[in-house]
Amino acid sequence: MDLLNDAQEAGAITLQALSIDTMKHAQNYAYKRDVRGRIRLWQLLGLPVPDYHDRQLPRTRGQMARALRYLPSLVSHHSWLWPALRVLAVTHTGARMLFSKARGLARRLACTIPALLSVIRKGTR
C-alpha cells in the first residue's frame, strides 16, 4: 500500500474507488465464472483442455447453455470450424422460420375455433 501511496503523492498515478460490480465487469468475471461449461464443451468437440486437477470447478446446465452461446466466438478463432458455421446458420434460420409459421398457425386457429363453435351451436338449435 505504501508503494501506491508514494506513487500517488508523486503524481505518477491516480487512484479512484471502484465498485465490486465495476471490477467484475472490467475483468469479464461473468465469462470466467463459466469456465467449467466451456471446458466440457471443448471436451465434447475434441479440443485440448487445461487440467485443473487441484480445483473443484462445478458445472451447471446454465454454464453449458452460456458455453453454447459462446460457440460462435470459438468458431471465429478456429477457422477449421468455419464450414460448420454455414450449416449452423441455415439450421438455426430454418428452425426459427418453422417455429414462426407454427406460432402463426396456432394463433389463427385460436381465433377461428371459437367462431366455428359458435356457428355450430347456432346451427344445432
Domain around 107: 81-125
- Are 60 and 111 within one domain? no
- Are 5 and 50 within one domain? yes
Which is nearest to 63 in space by CA: 45, 37, 28, 30? 37
- Are 62 and 86 within one domain? no
Model's pTM, two decimal places? 0.35
SS (H, E, C) the chain: CHHHHHHHHCCCCCCCCCCHHHHHHHCCHHHHHCHHHHHHHHHHCCCCCCCCCCCCCCCCHHHHHHHHHHHHHHHHHCHHHHHHHHHHHHHHHHHHHHHHHHHHHHHHHHHHHHHHHHHHHHHHC
- Are 41 and 98 within one domain? no
- Are 57 and 11 within one domain? yes
- Are 54 and 99 within one domain? no
Distance from C-alpha of 78 to C-alpha of 69, rounded to nearest angstrom: 16
Residue found by looking up cell 402463426 in the block: 104
Give the pLDDT confidence of 48-106 residue by residue, as tens digits: 888 777 777 667 777 777 777 777 666 566 666 677 777 888 888 889 899 999 988 88
- Are 65 and 6 within one domain? yes
Give the pLDDT confidence of 3-25 residue by residue, as tens digits: 988 999 999 999 888 898 888 77
